[in-house]
Structure 1
Amino acid sequence: MKNRKALLVISFGTSHPDTRKKTIEACEKLIKNNIKNYDFYSAWTSTMIIKKLSKNGEIIEYPSQTLQKLVKIGYKDILIQSLHIINGQEYEKLLEIIKIFRDKFDSIKIGRPLLSKLEDYDEVVDFIEEVTKYDNIENKLDTATLWMGHGTEHTAHSSYAGLEYRLRKREIKSYIGTVEGHPSIEDVIYFMKKDGINKVNLRPFLLVAGDHAKNDMAGQDENSWLNRLKAEGFKVKVHMEGIGEFEKIQNIFLNHTLEALGGIDEQ
């Protein structure tokens, strides 16, 4: 029987169909179209979102369900690409699932999340610089871009500080903050005021522009970043684009997939 190969792209997921098409599905399509001779599958790691969509009749598989299905079908070689931003809790959860299936396939290769190796940070900072220049095309000294990341209590929280360090080193007028973790919105407000920033382009540093972007970042609640920034005297322009919409980010994920495809079996 012909050796069957499967490509499995795994993301956290989203319950917002508008951003899903522009981000998750756009990344999946690019990877699928560039990986030949592999059958395409996808799965999400958020059980909460999977359950929410199931109530409306849409079936999204959890990674273990998809991998079990691939075993039954008879696939031998599996190529997995994560669409997670950092090597945090969601990615570790994925790795634990993969361990269970390690001996079920001849090989399992894994493409790393967005921010893993040092060169990933440099590529993402290049992306941030491009967007920052677009946001501040007039190059005004009092204007900056603020990116809202998710944040985590996992040790991978240092990823955000690592980005922030590179932005400062390269004197890029962008700031990184997180909803859950460090740097916090209070940290960012302090530094923006210290740097004389008055006008802010507010963007999600999230694959999708879903709940966190629409509520925590730009919601009507007084504790949203939009309203907290306004209360501190900043003029704010909201950009509702998940970073998964940008070709630069999509191509980074694709390159991680291609690198995994040419590499050794992930141990």
Structure 2
Amino acid sequence: MFVDSHCHIDFGELAEQGEALFARMAEAQVSHALCAAVSLERFPGVLALAQSRPNVFCSVGVHPEHTEGEDPEAERLVALAAQDKVVAIGETGLDYYWHKDQPEWQRERFRQHIRASRETGKPLIVHTRDAAADTVRLLQEEGADAAGGVMHCFTETWEVAEAAMALGFYISFSGIVTFKNAAQIKDVATRMPLERMLIETDSPYLAPVPYRGKLNQPAYVPHVAQEIARLRGSTVEEIAAVTTENFFKLFRHATPH
């Protein structure tokens, strides 16, 4: 069985698919999924979705690209994270690709999430783009190793992966690892210890080969595992088993059914 450790099945076309989406998950042997929140305004819908399905979990947080709506304060995040089925804080982090002009504002929001993670004991889901050095620095300064977390949809270097793992973080690979030009990500997937690896779709984005360019969905996460198995000379069954075990180790408040 596989676990999709990061998806956005509350978004648009995926949300409209209803039971068909979960039927395809079951057919693909994807047993569980974590739906990551991107704003506090969308969180009630994400929570309702998770609470309606025994095999779906969720997080609470504000994506660094989300510049409108309520700013996340640690106390508010802590209160919302007490809800049943909330197993993580995030998606949070830094994105200097889209928002080069507001770095300090982003950094303060990131710190609020890290503090909420420490207080709740629920791990962080971290997004970083063109901001690896500051991302690692803030994780270190705020003591993010207290609760741990995951660098989701990893696209950075082996050195960044090592720094994150030194803080107790996991590294999650998306469909990007199946892309022909993703040499750096393939290198990290080959070198890293299996006990720190997760797999994800980040759907509806970044569909893996052979579905690249199409709408992504949790049922496609086995293709990520297949590519990692190929790179490592392993088996899909091993990657599935280890990443599923890792998911429930990291997200301690997620109970398998």
TM-score normalized with structure 2 length: 0.35
Larger Rg: 1
